[in-house]
Amino acid sequence: MERKIFFLTMLVLFSSCKKAEHDDTYLELNNKVLESEIIRYTQKTKAELKGEPFVISVYCKQINDSTARYVISPEITASLMENWPYSFICKVGGRDVFFVMGAGISFKNNFNGGNFFKLKQRAYEDFMKKYFPKQYETYLKILHNEEVETTANFYDPELCYLTFVNEKLVSKIFEMGLPTD
């Protein structure tokens, strides 16, 4: 009887334990205003996409020694990461956020191999598998010459353009466009 109670107690304990999320990122945001803006934008995007997979990218551009521009953008497909690869990942609000540094990234000639950098094929596949599993399944079928039914997703949201001067937010604009605008 004691043994049954012990096993039942252990079963309840193990089933009620929530798996701790592992944070394997090596950088964290130092600017709390930027962090809160990313969290707000992520929540807004989550509500708009109603359960569809997405990741958040933040395009970073240092304009001069005191002015920096950050453009927050949702990505609903892995393909943009193939052309505009991320530089590093930070955990923001419990989610992986992909930061793209402007150096070496050509937004005008990127689909013709015009960038200095690109994700390695294996890294791109791992990214797709983790964040866009349905797209990854389709990708594997195409690799194996299987027939696939494809659909085009169109999502053209307002991006959030943040301008900081001396690390203080001075401008916040929502508009459609490209991260380089």
Q: Is residue 133 part of a domain?
A: yes
Instruction: Pick 72 or 150 by higher pLDDT.
Output: 72
Q: Which two tokens stand for residue 175?
A: 């508009």
Mean pLDDT over each residue of the chain, to the nearest integer:
81
Q: Is residue 166 part of a domain?
A: yes
Whether the CB-CB separation of 81 and 127 falls below 8 Å is answered with yes
Number of structural domains the chain divides into: 1
pLDDT, one tens digit per residue, over 83-140 is 778 889 999 999 999 998 876 565 555 555 566 777 888 999 999 999 999 999 988 9
pLDDT, one tens digit per residue, over 24-54 is 777 889 999 999 999 999 999 999 999 899 9
Q: Is residue 6 part of a domain?
A: no
Rounded distance between C-alpha atoms, residue 176 and residue 158, angstroms: 4
Q: Which domain holds residue 34?
A: 22-175
pLDDT higher than 80, residue 20: no
